[in-house]
Structure 1
Amino acid sequence: MIETENLKLRRPVTEDLDAIHAMRRDPAVIRHLGGKPLNREEAWHRLTRLTGHWALRGYGMFIVVAKASGHVIGEVGLFDGYRGLSPDFDNAPEAGWILAAEAHGKGYAIEAATAAHRWFAQTHGEQRSVCIIAPDNLASLRVAQKLGYKSFGQVDYQGGPVTMLERIPF
């Protein structure tokens, strides 16, 4: 587990299903994730994918818990997405951050993502990472910029444009 000033980051567990389901059906959360809410079965598949990635790769998306409330407020980490976007994209760990609406605008995304990147560097070595963000997702683009990500192209992904960004820590 990772602890920051306001958050705890931990591996996903079965009991996270309800929180993942609630977050992944909230219009404020999914509007930049294709806009399609997940039903309970799809949320279960999301949870099993999160836990399976940890088992296969030794890293993945952390579940983010607010210390003050004890509520699950997001998913943050690095993973292998194998999206088929380009060799420049698919051959690097991909960073992601998704926060519940109650956590928006509080600086939690940058707090959690900074901690996740630090953990990844300590356990897997400093290396280039990538992420994709919809061009109109200004809040997420600000987080990426604060983390040191820079644009290196734009592609269509699942019916819409996304900006590909990279972070080179050297």
Structure 2
Amino acid sequence: MIHTERLILRPYAVSDFDAYAAMVADLVVVRHAGAPMTGEEAWMRLLRFIGHWSVFGYGLFAVLDRASGAYLGETGFMDFQREVVPRIEPLPEAAWVFTSAAHGRGYAWEAASAVHRWMADTHAPPATQCIISPANLESIRLAERLGYVLHDQPNYRGEALRLIRKG
């Protein structure tokens, strides 16, 4: 568990399903990452996130408001095994997604910077990477602020994306 000034970050639990499913069904949230998810798709992805921790010792954290306990989104690292062309190195992939109600409040920076410090301290990977849609300017700005730089522009599911790396 990670605590910041305003946030609590902890590995996902089954009890997060309703909040997670609502977030990934929101058109505003998923506009740069595909279509909204059904409840079934959200359930399967949530289970994947929970299981990732037991295999790799890291994963995505649910991000909660420290004062109210409200679910705000997620950030962390995964081994997504994305089938991109050209193939990418097997490095931890940073990710962040926040509810539309949490946008514009600095939560993504606060949470992602804390998770990056945690990952460096606990796992010390030689580098990390992100894959971001070129249209997702907010995420690109956050990645650059975290120290990521453009590395390649692979294709994933028919879309040209930005592969950015740190380290």
Instruction: Compute the TM-score of the two structures, normalised by the length of structure 1.
Output: 0.94
Distance across 2 between alignment mates of 1:121 and 1:87: 27
The Cα of 1:85 is off from its aligned counterpart by 2.4
2:113 is matched with 114
The Cα of 1:160 is off from its aligned counterpart by 1.6
Distance across 1 between alignment mates of 2:125 and 2:51: 23
The Cα of 1:89 is off from its aligned counterpart by 2.6
Do 2:91 and 2:125's aligned partners in 1 also have CA atoms closer than 8 Å?
A: no
The Cα of 1:86 is off from its aligned counterpart by 5.8
Percent identity for Structure 1 against Structure 2: 46
Count of residue pairs brought into register by the alignment:
167
Do 1:89 and 1:130's aligned partners in 2 also have CA atoms closer than 8 Å?
A: no
Distance across 2 between alignment mates of 1:32 and 1:140: 10
Can you give the 5+ residue segments of structure 2 that lack an aligned partner in the other structure?
none
Distance across 2 between alignment mates of 1:20 and 1:49: 13
Greater mean alpha carbon deviation, residues 118-127 or residues 87-96: 87-96
Do 1:73 and 1:103's aligned partners in 2 also have CA atoms closer than 8 Å?
A: yes
The Cα of 1:88 is off from its aligned counterpart by 6.8
Distance across 1 between alignment mates of 2:70 and 2:28: 18
Is residue 18 from structure 1 mapped to residue 18 from structure 2 by the alignment? Answer: yes
Question: Counterparts in 2 of 1:66-77, with a 5 A limit?
Answer: 66-77=65-76
Runs (4+) of structure 1 exceeding 4 A deviation are none
Q: For residue 134 of structure 1, what is the amino acid of its counterpart?
A: S
Greater mean alpha carbon deviation, residues 135-144 or residues 88-97: 88-97
CA-based RMSD:
1.3
1:30 is matched with 30
Distance across 1 between alignment mates of 2:90 and 2:80: 10
Do 1:155 and 1:162's aligned partners in 2 also have CA atoms closer than 8 Å?
A: yes
Question: Counterparts in 2 of 1:80-95, with a 5 A limit?
Answer: 80-85=79-84, 89-95=88-94
1:44 is matched with 43
Distance across 2 between alignment mates of 1:159 and 1:104: 28
The Cα of 1:141 is off from its aligned counterpart by 0.4
Deviations 1:82-123 (A, max 9, x none): 113267733211000000001111111111111111111111
Is residue 57 from structure 1 mapped to residue 70 from structure 2 by the alignment? Answer: no
Deviations 1:127-154 (A, max 9, x none): 2000011001010001000100000111
The Cα of 1:159 is off from its aligned counterpart by 2.6
Change (3 A) 1:20 1:125: same
1:148 is matched with 147
